[in-house]
Amino acid sequence: METFFFWLTSTISVVSAASILFVARPTRALLALLLSMLCLTVLYTLLHAYFVAIVHLIVYAGAVLVLFLFVIMLQGLGATTLSITKRFNRTHLILTVLAGGVFAGLLTAIFSQAHLPIFKNPEGTVENLGRILFSNYLLPFEMISVLVLLGIFAAMTLAKNEKAAA
Amino acid sequence: MTLTPSPEHYLVLAGILFSIGLFGILLRRNILIILLCLELMFNAANLVLVTASSVHGQMDGQIVAFFVIVIAAVEVTIGLAIAVLLFKEKNTVDTEKITSLKG
């Protein structure tokens, strides 16, 4: 069962992620990424990281991608650009080789080391995670809240400047 | 190589997703799709963190993955605000047409 779900979701996520590269409309790219993220949620659940899976589902699929969708809808058809196949030139070829080189490097790094041990699978429940989050990771947690606050200020300032300019 | 998912399978999957994201950032010229590919790379890194957490039997990787998700949410808010301003200013999302440094 686990094997079946792993291969199913990983195949779907790779195919939909690859389709981001080739579509012209950002809306379709966004929906492809959404599908990819839903598959990743299943993979997190298979790894017994339940809390991360749900946070990923709510924050990414729920909030971030809907924000993207709003922005794309605001921009309308102006957001459409040429697809990748219609503007392929030599610079793109070099960059393709570069990205392929990074991928080859990653694969070598994964397979060059000794065989990884099998999964121990800690239960990623809210209880287990919260205990560590509010003891060992309390300072980073508080700093994250300051960062989120700064993000709100930054977004508000950007929106205000735009109104002043218009 | 067996079919049962092992840590290597998850790491290779994360490597594929990361490379697709990098490929998209380097090759696509639509600023929104560049941001989407950035999210894809964040996700690949998160998958590695959760896999490592499972391999070692410790929760730390999952907590870092949680932090990454929060930071990515902040990053995308500011990135999209800048993208909207850029679109209103230049009326395009093509990074090859956005060439001037001066506003």
pLDDT level of residue B71 (50, 70, 90 thresholds): very high
- Inspect the interface and report whether the beta carbons of A43 and B13 lie closer than 8 Å: yes
* CB of B97 less than 8 A from some CB of A: no
Residues ≥6 apart with Cβ < 8 Å to A129: A51, B59, B62, B63, B66
- Inspect the interface and report whether the beta carbons of A63 and B23 lie closer than 8 Å: no
Q: What is the pLDDT of residue A162?
A: 57
- pLDDT over 80 (residue B95): no
What number is the average pLDDT over the span B40-53? Answer: 92
- pLDDT over 80 (residue A88): no
Cα–Cα dist A71/B56, whole Å: 40
Q: How many CA atoms lie within 13 A of A66 on its CB side?
A: 7
- pLDDT over 80 (residue B65): yes
- Inspect the interface and report whether the beta carbons of B63 and A3 lie closer than 8 Å: no
- Inspect the interface and report whether the beta carbons of B39 and A151 lie closer than 8 Å: no
pLDDT tens digits along A96-123: 888 888 888 888 887 777 666 777 777 7
Please give the mean pLDDT across all residues of chain A.
Answer: 84
Give the burial class of A17: count Cβ atoms within 10 A of its Cβ; 0-12 exposed, 13-18 middle, 19 or more buried: buried
Q: What angle do CA A33, A2, A57 make, to 5 degrees?
A: 35
What is the secondary structure of B41-103 as a DSSP string?
A: HHHHHHHHHHHHHHHHT-SHHHHHHHHHHHHHHHHHHHHHHHHHHHHHHHS--BTTT---S--
**Phi, psi dihedral angles at B71 (to 5 degrees):** -65, -40
pLDDT tens digits along A43-69: 999 988 889 999 999 998 888 888 888
* CB of B52 less than 8 A from some CB of A: no
pLDDT tens digits along A29-44: 899 999 999 999 999 9
pLDDT level of residue A163 (50, 70, 90 thresholds): low
pLDDT level of residue A147 (50, 70, 90 thresholds): very high
What is the secondary structure of A5-67 as a DSSP string?
A: HHHHHHHHHHHHHHHHHH-SSHHHHHHHHHHHHHHHHHHHHHTT-HHHHHHIIIIIIIIIHHH
- pLDDT over 70 (residue B30): yes
Strand partners, B30: B94
pLDDT level of residue B28 (50, 70, 90 thresholds): confident
Among candidates B46, B54, B29, which has minimal Cα distance to A86? B29
> What are the chain B neighbours of A138 within 8 Å (beta carbons)?
none
Among candidates B42, B55, B47, B49, which has minimal Cα distance to B7? B55
- pLDDT over 80 (residue B48): yes
CA distances from A109 to A113, B22, B50 (A): 7, 17, 18
Lowest mean pLDDT among A45-54, A77-86, B2-11, B82-91: A77-86
pLDDT level of residue B1 (50, 70, 90 thresholds): low
Strand partners, B94: B30
In chain B, residues 26-45 whose CB comes closer than 8 Å to chain A: 26-30, 32-33, 35-37, 39-40, 43
- pLDDT over 80 (residue A124): no
Cα–Cα dist B14/B4, whole Å: 17
> What are the chain A neighbours of B69 within 8 Å (beta carbons)?
52, 55-56, 59-60
* CB of B90 less than 8 A from some CB of A: no
Residue among B48, B54, B56, B84 with most chain A CBs within 10 A, to mutate: B54
